[in-house]
Amino acid sequence: MEFDRIAVVGERELVLGFKLIGISDVFIAGGAEGAQKLSELIRAGTHNLIMASDGIKGHMDQHIQMVAETSLKPIVIFIPVHGADEQESVEKLAKRILGVDIKSIKGSAK
């Protein structure tokens, strides 16, 4: 499956990292606002992959959460963003899903 349309929804720290690597459909929204945006994106069906902050899950209604966790189009991935340990997992996730090494991008920006 090609991921030609990717969206990211979540806190500023999460979203800006993905914007820096070239993802244009980014939405800074957490909590209930993020859950609403995620729900809109899922219903629209315009993206193949949606990455969202794990913190949004607690604000989603059960139906949308079940759709998000089982959907194949779009694929929805929840990303933890609470501290340094999780940042490493975000870097690994970007490498695995997008094929982009965020560490090398950070190093070249200096």
In 45-79, which residue ranges form alpha helices assigned H by DSSP? 62-70
Q: Give the CATH number for residue 46.
A: 3.40.50.10580
Residue 98's nearest CA partner among 20, 10, 12 is 20
**Predicted confidence band of residue 102 (pLDDT cuts 50, 70, 90):** low
Contact 77, 48 (CB under 8 A): no
62: pLDDT strictly greater than 80: yes
Average pLDDT of span 4-29: 90
Show the domain range for 17.
6-108
Whether residue 45 is contained in a domain is answered as yes
Residue 69 maps to a domain: yes
Residue 90 belongs to some domain of the structure: yes
Q: Is residue 18 one of the residues assigned to a domain? A: yes
Residue 101: its pLDDT value, please? 73
Structural domain total, the chain: 1
> Residue 1 falls within a domain, yes or no?
no
CA–CA gap between residue 46 and residue 78 (Å, rounded)? 18
pLDDT of 70 above 50: yes
- Is the pLDDT reported for residue 59 higher than 90? yes
Residue 3 pLDDT: 59
